[in-house]
Amino acid sequence: MYAERYDRPHRLNPAGLTAAVAINAAVIAALMMSAPTILPGIAKRSLTMIDVFTPPPPPPEPVPPPPSQAQSRQPVERIDAPVTPFPPIAARDFAVPDLPPLPPPGPMTGADGGTAVTIDPAPPPPLPTLIEPSFDPRYASQIQPVYPAAERRAGREGRVTVRVLVGVDGRVKQIERVGATSDAFWQATEVRAMSAWRFRPATRGGIPVEAWRTLSLTFVLAE
């Protein structure tokens, strides 16, 4: 029975066909009714030119003539005072008395220049007091040189005296040997002074200056 149901041929439905035709006709009618309306064209108008009369500008005002030189001059009042004539002065003769004759020039007249006076120049003002350089306490641990190994093995102690030139930056610029127990002690002192010694620079009147200072160091063996 089911096989017969599906094996039946399909037939056109008259109601559906009629509905499809009616819908298409309605769509076509709606399109025809919604077509745009074309208005009649607007007639072209001609452009009319009107000439507007503009009156000419008024003439410029006349420039007044400059005043003449005769009119610009003003009369100057002049008053002539009468001049009283003075009688002429008669010439007179004046007698000049005779002056005594000058003494004859001697050998020393105008030749003696007097005693020469020598003025000594004023002495220069004294310089402010010089304050010598001193060790900077921040570098106190760097003062003592390294004990020479050869002198330590030999059990020798020593003493070194030197002169150092301290610059304005507190560093040693130059060192001179004054006395030393041995060359080893002197060399150890020289190396330490040039590399590690730091000073407060000398001052003169509050201004840092370079200055020399003599120092003595002692090398002692610790027990």
The pLDDT tens digits of the residues spanning 93-148 come to 656 667 777 777 666 555 555 566 777 788 888 888 999 999 999 999 999 999 99
| 109 within some domain | no
Q: What is the domain-level CATH number for residue 146?
A: 3.30.2420.10
| 199 within some domain | yes
| 115 within some domain | no
Number of domains in the chain: 1
Predicted confidence (pLDDT) at residue 3 exceeds the cutoff of 50: no
Residue 1, pLDDT score: 45
Residue 167, pLDDT score: 96
pTM, full prediction: 0.45
| 63 within some domain | no
| 188 within some domain | yes
| 112 within some domain | no
| 149 within some domain | yes
Confidence class of residue 12 from pLDDT cuts 50, 70 and 90?
low
Measure Cα distances from 23 to 15, 19, 61, 124, 165 in Å: 13, 6, 92, 133, 123
| 156 within some domain | yes
Q: Which domain holds residue 157?
A: 130-219
